[in-house]
Amino acid sequence: MKSPGSGTKRILVVDDEPAICDVCQRVLISEGFEVEIAAQGNVAQDMVEEKRYDLCLIDIKMPVLNGKELYEWMREKHPHLARRVIFITGSVMGGYTQAFLEQTGRPFLLKPFTPDELKAKVRETLRQLEK
């Protein structure tokens, strides 16, 4: 998926589960994206400060700096990127997580998700951003 003049779209995957990172990386690279991985939110902060990303997939529950904290940091420091977030979560049953997702209005993927669900959500989100 390339956009004219801007080259390959770069996606940052932020998740502490290696299996999720591996699946995301494999699937998204096969779709033509450049994919970078951060296993922790604080690592992702450093990466965001150094490079431009077209989209971020962020796990909500992580040690050190969780997805909610990373998103709030993005809203303050990189608001353009905060609009380019898809959350990944293992549960939305917890009232706090569900309320957070509703408040942000950002799309999300429920674990476990299929490669087709991942591709569809990424394509749909990028399409919405281009409008």
Give tens-digit pLDDT for 106-118: 999 999 999 999 9
What's the CATH fold of domain 8-130? Rossmann fold (3.40.50)
Tokens describing residue 53? 């990303």
Q: How many residues does the chain have?
A: 131
Residue 131, C-beta contacts closer than 8 angstroms, at least 6 positions apart: none
Q: How confident is the model at residue 96 (pLDDT cuts 50, 70, 90)?
A: confident
Delimit the domains of the chain by residue range: 8-130
Element (H, E) at 43: helix 41-50
Of 64, 114, 118, whose CA–CA distance to 86 is shortest? 118
In terms of C-beta distances under 8 Å and separation of at least 24 residues, what long-range contacts does 17-20 make, across chains too?
Answer: 17/59, 20/59, 20/88, 20/111
